[in-house]
Structure 1
């Protein structure tokens, strides 16, 4: 199974009625250790370092987001300001003039999407939710 097809699906899910996509890059990582499920070879792969993946996975696994609250969310060498978490499975973050990050966990994975500045984070949230809930329904 190619996990990269989930990148295409998520980007498509983020489109509004005019056809504009509100997500420009995506990564799916494992909740146990943060190993990447999607590859860096995809044109819309979110650039994220292994140490960043491990830190994100650790927070989601423990359901303790205080590290994000105090230090922000680091992705691709950028520090995003933590906005909020919901239900211990959804995290939202933003970096002014750089865009936003939406992350949602399923049982075994974390779906991460970057929403470019000027796009609607709500559309990105919806798209991330669709993929995370699909994985959850597969018991993943």
Structure 2
């Protein structure tokens, strides 16, 4: 809005940039022409404490307020519908996991103690290979 107003104003110093201003004004109108019909931008501007509805024309303000109210009503009904939907109870843990299966196999084969002993024996050798004192 403010940019359009600035580009529409003519001043004595505009002699060399009139064409540039008109081209820029065309581009602004082309890109932002339908912005007042977009609820997202209008509602965001109205909710921003810096702007609210101060910079909108008087004839647009009522339509924008209705747009805001429509969005608020829509949010309220969406929340109610979400609350009504039944959700499946969450399970904290699956009944069996892949790691449980590995543990089961190790217990069946009796290899858990062997692995721990083997690891305990290999650790000093591994440390010596890096020059660490044992």
TM range (shorter): under 0.3
- Structure 2 length-normalised TM: 0.24
- Structure 1 length-normalised TM: 0.23
Larger fraction in strand:
1
Whose Rg is larger? 2
Larger fraction in helix:
2
Higher relative contact order (CA 8 A, sep 6+): 1
